[in-house]
Every structure is written in structure tokens, then in C-alpha cells.
Amino acid sequence: MASTFIGNSTSIQEMFRRVSEQFTAMFRRKAFLHWYTGEGMDEMEFTEAESNMNDLVSEYQQYQDATADEEEYEDEEEVHDE
């Protein structure tokens, strides 16, 4: 028996951030870049991919911050109700 779980959690942003940092470090040194440019890719595609990854991490951070703000607001309501 096999099963699959698909979840969307803001905790994934840490993994995205780590991958992005590793990518940035390698891209700055142009590690392995010659393999891709030799096959027809443009260096700008990597820059765009890095930007997209940073945007994704920022978007997850916004959702996490919004959730934290909602929880804080709910906690304040409970204190005032007592």
C-alpha cells in the first residue's frame, strides 16, 4: 500500500532559503555554468531563477507573518474576554 501527502506549509521556506544560498554561492563562482551555457542556456536564466526563488521565499514569509499576526490578535481577544 502506498500513499502520498501533499501539504503546503510555510516551514518549507527554510529549505528554499538554504537551496537559494547554496545556488547563489555556486553561481557566483560560476560552478558548472559552462555545462549549461554550452547546451544553449543563457546566464540570465539563472539570474531569473534566483530571483523567482527569492520571491517565493518572500511570499511564504508574508503568509507566515500574517498567520502570526492573526494568532496574536486572537490571543489578545481571549485576554479581553476573560
| Spans of all domains in the chain | 13-81
CATH number assigned to the domain covering 13-81: 1.10.287.600
Q: What does the alpha-carbon distance between residue 11 and residue 69 come to, in Å, rounded to a whole number? A: 16
In 3D space, the residue among 68, 75, 50, 71 whose CA is nearest the CA of residue 10 turns out to be 68
Give the pLDDT band (50/70/90) at residue 81: low
- The yes-or-no verdict on residue 48 having pLDDT over 80 is yes
**What does pTM read for this prediction?**
0.70
